[in-house]
């Protein structure tokens, strides 16, 4: 079930929310029941996609739980950890990079694999000591974040439930969750889906893709956080206006934040990070970003996409270290920095969406010829204004606060966004989120 579908909203979410509100209001629920209930609900949610892949997911959960128990006791050594990580990467590598035709990629395999690897590392580092199978299953399966993130840590997610004294509905959380869900739904079905093209032949088309993937992913991120909030759980922010970034470092701190954090913690820092000089930092950055590119897909285009992002980060670090091109920071120069960063990121999206390197090079050739400027999608002007001049969803709802200050008119905005989104959904079929492919 897609989050942006009538089936999910009317046959899954609304009944589930109604049952949750009734049960928590009139029946005392302990933590164990909460974990079991949401794990079961999430299994029902996932099985709508594929029973075969559900078996793979459940087998992965059981395997990693047993491995983690051994890792926390008698097999607490680095070799056992590395062996466990290697085993986790086998199905991911097989399904994502196999040359077998018509092999269907299991939904969310990248996300639940990375999340469980992070769990094993946390167990090895003694950040997690006591955990039950119920808690672990909930941690992996919790449906708002199962399909496309955010990638969460066990203590951050399960710890919230452990400290709860009561599961009574929180009106503030419920209202904030509904608003975030409606913002995300609007971003996906009204904006992103109407920027989707069959072919890319000009700068206008490239910018359409750039804005499409922006609103597609921000839409999912807002919907995931909103869904979790409705059930009293706060997920980490995964998207925070990356196109307002003044450089690539800031871009990767605000685009797919939890994946960037995972790559930093588990690849960049173990490779030395910035601790051993510019040469080793350059190597660490390039390797990290290439792995990030390969994580998104097979083929040389994804590898190059990651490499050139890494190269941009390397150049930026060198210029900062040696004060090259140092400019007095002011409003005007920051505007140019934002535009340059956006153009660089947009040009690299060409590698991301092209079917092969030949197609990408052909489009690059077109872009830098007179043919690259043909046509213009005026819808892009409105979309650009939303990106650069409107607050994002996490600025509307500050997730860092323990109680969300919902202004009186927020309810009207939620209703309007939901109504418009449902109207669009009635006229056009639901489209998958881009990150469902990873």
Residue 162 and residue 31 in contact, taking contact as beta carbons nearer than 8 Å: yes
pLDDT for the residue numbered 428: 83
CB under 8 Å to 4, separation ≥6 — which residues? Answer: 185, 188, 189, 219, 223, 421, 425, 430, 431, 433
Residue 339 and residue 384 in contact, taking contact as beta carbons nearer than 8 Å: no
Q: What would the pLDDT profile of 31-47 be if each residue is shown by its tens digit?
A: 888 899 999 999 999 99
In a domain, 108, yes or no: yes
CB under 8 Å to 412, separation ≥6 — which residues? Answer: none
Q: Are residues 149 and 246 in the same domain?
A: no
For residue 8, pLDDT over 70 is answered with: yes
pLDDT for the residue numbered 394: 83
In a domain, 273, yes or no: yes
What mean pLDDT comes out for the span 137-154? 93
Q: What percent of the chain has pLDDT over 90?
A: 64
Residue 121 and residue 263 in contact, taking contact as beta carbons nearer than 8 Å: no
pLDDT for the residue numbered 387: 95
For residue 437, pLDDT over 90 is answered with: no
pLDDT for the residue numbered 208: 95
Residue 205 and residue 166 in contact, taking contact as beta carbons nearer than 8 Å: no
Q: Are residues 53 and 162 in the same domain?
A: yes
For residue 28, pLDDT over 80 is answered with: no
What mean pLDDT comes out for the span 177-198? 94
Instruction: Choose between 28 and 52: higher pLDDT.
Output: 52
- Which one of 141, 166, 191 terminates a domain? 166
For residue 329, pLDDT over 80 is answered with: no
Q: What percent of the chain has pLDDT over 70?
A: 97
Which of 278-292, 324-338, 370-384 is predicted with the least confidence, judged by mean pLDDT?
Answer: 324-338
Q: Are residues 262 and 145 in the same domain?
A: no
- Which one of 373, 396, 417 terminates a domain? 373
Cα gap 108→146, rounded to integer Å: 7
pLDDT for the residue numbered 103: 83
What mean pLDDT comes out for the span 319-338? 72
* Cis amide leading into 35 (omega within 30): no
Cα gap 101→424, rounded to integer Å: 35
What mean pLDDT comes out for the span 174-186? 94
pLDDT for the residue numbered 325: 63
Q: Are residues 161 and 55 in the same domain?
A: yes
Cα gap 393→250, rounded to integer Å: 18
Question: What does the DSSP 8-state code read for residue 128?
Answer: -
Residue 278 and residue 317 in contact, taking contact as beta carbons nearer than 8 Å: yes
In a domain, 203, yes or no: no
**pTM for the whole structure:** 0.93
Q: How confident is the model at residue 327 (pLDDT cuts 50, 70, 90)?
A: low
CB under 8 Å to 12, separation ≥6 — which residues? Answer: 1, 45
CB under 8 Å to 19, separation ≥6 — which residues? Answer: none
The DSSP result for 350-411, as a single string, is HHHH-SSHHHHHHHHHHHTSGGGG----THHHHHHHHHHHS--HHHHS-TTSSS----TTHH
For residue 199, pLDDT over 70 is answered with: yes
Q: How confident is the model at residue 318 (pLDDT cuts 50, 70, 90)?
A: confident
**Active site annotation includes 358:** no
Cβ neighbours of 152 (radius 10 Å): 23
Cα gap 352→344, rounded to integer Å: 13
Cα gap 49→45, rounded to integer Å: 8
For residue 330, pLDDT over 60 is answered with: no
pLDDT for the residue numbered 321: 75
- Which one of 373, 400, 419 terminates a domain? 373
Residue 11: closest CA among 45, 49, 47, 38? 45
Number of domains in the chain: 2
Which of 18-27, 184-193, 239-248 is predicted with the least confidence, judged by mean pLDDT?
Answer: 18-27
In a domain, 148, yes or no: yes
Burial class (CB in 10 A: 0-12, 13-18, 19+), 15: exposed
In a domain, 253, yes or no: yes
CB under 8 Å to 55, separation ≥6 — which residues? Answer: none
What mean pLDDT comes out for the span 24-29? 78
What mean pLDDT comes out for the span 153-181? 87
In a domain, 252, yes or no: yes
Q: How long is the chain?
A: 438
Burial class (CB in 10 A: 0-12, 13-18, 19+), 232: buried
Q: How confident is the model at residue 331 (pLDDT cuts 50, 70, 90)?
A: low
pLDDT for the residue numbered 185: 96
- Domain membership of residue 79 as a residue range: 30-166
In a domain, 144, yes or no: yes
Q: Are residues 49 and 155 in the same domain?
A: yes
Q: What would the pLDDT profile of 203-219 be if each residue is shown by its tens digit?
A: 999 999 999 999 999 99
User: Is residue 273 left, alpha or beta, with left meaning phi > 0 and alpha meaning psi from -120 to 50?
Assistant: left
- Determine which one of 53, 256, 296, 309 is catalytic: 296
For residue 73, pLDDT over 90 is answered with: no
Residue 79 and residue 92 in contact, taking contact as beta carbons nearer than 8 Å: no
In a domain, 45, yes or no: yes
Report the mean per-residue pLDDT for the chain.
Answer: 90
Residue 136 and residue 243 in contact, taking contact as beta carbons nearer than 8 Å: no
């Amino acid at each position: 079930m897609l989050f942006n579908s009538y089936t999910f909203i009317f046959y899954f979410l609304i009944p589930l929310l109604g049952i949750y509100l009734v049960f928590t209001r009139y029946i005392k629920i302990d933590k164990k029941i909460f974990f079991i209930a949401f794990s079961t609900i999430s299994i029902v949610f996932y099985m709508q996609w594929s029973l075969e892949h559900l078996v793979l997911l459940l087998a992965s959960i059981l395997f990693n739980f047993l491995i983690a128990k051994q890792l926390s006791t008698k097999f607490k050594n680095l070799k056992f950890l590395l062996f466990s990580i290697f085993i986790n990467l086998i199905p991911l590598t097989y399904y994502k990079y196999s040359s077998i035709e018509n092999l269907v990629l299991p939904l969310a395999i990248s996300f639940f694999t990375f999340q469980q690897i992070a769990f094993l590392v946390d167990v090895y580092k003694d950040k997690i000591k006591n955990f039950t199978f119920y808690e672990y299953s909930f941690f992996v399966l919790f449906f708002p974040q199962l399909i496309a993130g955010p990638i969460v840590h066990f203590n951050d997610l399960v710890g919230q439930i452990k400290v709860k004294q009561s599961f009574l509905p929180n009106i503030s959380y419920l209202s904030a969750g509904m608003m975030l869900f409606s913002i995300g739904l609007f971003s996906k079905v009204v904006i992103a889906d109407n920027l989707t093209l069959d072919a890319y032949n000009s700068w206008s088309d490239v910018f359409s893709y750039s804005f499409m993937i922006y609103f597609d992913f921000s839409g999912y991120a807002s919907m995931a956080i909103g869904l979790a909030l409705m059930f009293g759980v706060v997920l980490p922010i995964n998207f925070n206006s990356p196109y307002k970034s003044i450089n690539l470092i800031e871009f990767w701190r605000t685009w797919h934040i939890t994946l960037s954090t995972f790559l930093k913690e588990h690849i960049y820092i173990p490779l030395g990070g910035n601790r051993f000089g510019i040469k080793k930092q350059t190597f660490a950055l390039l390797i990290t970003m290439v792995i990030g590119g390969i994580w998104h897909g097979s083929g040389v285009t994804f590898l190059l996409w990651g490499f050139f992002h890494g190269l941009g980060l390397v150049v930026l670090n060198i210029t900062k270290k040696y004060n090259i091109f140092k400019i007095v920071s002011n409003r005007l120069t920051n505007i140019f920095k934002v535009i340059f960063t956006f153009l660089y990121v947009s040009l690299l999206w060409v590698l991301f969406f092209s079917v092969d390197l030949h197609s990408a090079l052909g489009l690059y050739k077109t872009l830098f010829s007179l043919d690259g400027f043909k046509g213009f999608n005026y819808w892009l002007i409105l979309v650009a204004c939303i990106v650069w001049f409107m607050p994002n969803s996490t600025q509307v709802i500050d997730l860092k606060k323990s109680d969300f200050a919902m202004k009186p008119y927020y309810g009207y905005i939620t209703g309007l966004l939901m109504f418009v989104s449902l109207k669009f959904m009635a006229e056009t079929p639901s489209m998958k989120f881009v990150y469902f492919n990873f």
